[in-house]
Amino acid sequence: MAAEVDPGYFDPLAVDPEQARDVARWRTAERKRLREARRTLSSPRRKATGEALMTGLERLFAANSAGAGDGIVAFYWPIKDEPDLRSLMTEMQASGRRIALPLVETRAAPLVFRLWTPETRMERGHWNIPVPPRDAPEVMPDVVLAPLMGWDSEGYRLGYGGGYFDRTLAALSPRPFSIGVGLAAAQLPTIYPQSHDIPMDVILTERGIEVGG
């Protein structure tokens, strides 16, 4: 198993099928562990984490051209105890910024982004996640916020395993500024990055910017 072997042993291009299988099994186990740790957070702790993340995002946007002006910022709709950033979505939209949400409209394909406002009539999409309807304008985001299960010091993100964010970032040109959003306690020594993994430009936790910036 990957967790029991020196990370230097692993080929980041995953040319060895056995290594790739080991990494996949390790990631599955880590997702389960990290998901359970996040699920058991108290309501006050979860609320405080969300507030700290929104403050960190506001500071990041203020110090960086990303998310500024009329740029389109793609948030996410929280599921599975993810940090809830919806109040910041509303504030940014009210201040004149355009906000988008990702949709899985074709399985195993890049995500589609559609504009969102507080008045948007949401529908149930893939995994039963609320999403804008298909008649909402499709847009190309300048900034993408990606929820994460785990992260490492190289900026790599451990997601849910569907590969949608990596696939999307690889397909978009120009590539949007990417911000992985999650918990400080979800840091890993490495996620054993494979050839399809794309590092985030920034990893942001309740402690602030952990990677990039």
| 210 in a labelled binding site | no
CA distance 192 to 27: 9
Cα distances (Å, whole numbers) of residue 51 to 29, 34, 92, 93, 208: 29, 21, 15, 18, 12
- pLDDT score of 11: 46
Report the pLDDT value the prediction gives residue 6, as an integer from 0 to 100.
42
Which pLDDT belongs to residue 24?
92
pTM given for the model: 0.88
Residue 27 lies in a domain: yes
Determine, yes or no, domain membership for 2. Answer: no
Q: Could you tell me the pLDDT band of residue 15, with boundaries at 50, 70 and 90?
A: low
Q: What is the mean pLDDT of residues 17-21?
A: 84
> What are the CA-CA distances from residue 55 to residues 50, 77, 88, 205, 207 (Å)?
9, 18, 9, 10, 10
Q: What pLDDT does 193 receive? A: 93
Q: What's residue 131's pLDDT? A: 94
Query: DSSP state, 187?
Result: B
Residue 11 lies in a domain: no
Q: Which of 10-24, 132-146, 148-162 has the lowest mean pLDDT?
A: 10-24
pLDDT of residue 126: 81
Domain limits for position 157: 18-211
Q: Give the model confidence (pLDDT) of 84-116 as tens digits.
A: 999 999 999 999 999 999 999 888 889 999 999
Is the residue at 1 inside a domain? Answer: no
The number of domains in the chain is 1
* Mean per-residue pLDDT of the chain: 89
**Residue 12 within a domain:** no
Q: How far is CA 37 from CA 12, 30, 62, in A?
A: 28, 11, 32
Does a structural domain hold residue 161?
yes
pLDDT of 8 reads 45
CB of 115 closer than 8 Å to CB of 99: yes
In a domain, 43, yes or no: yes
The CATH code of the domain that includes 30 is 3.40.50.10420
pLDDT at 12 over 80: no
User: Is 31 domain-assigned?
Assistant: yes
Asked whether the beta carbons of 38 and 160 are under 8 A apart, the reply is no
**What pLDDT does residue 68 have?**
53
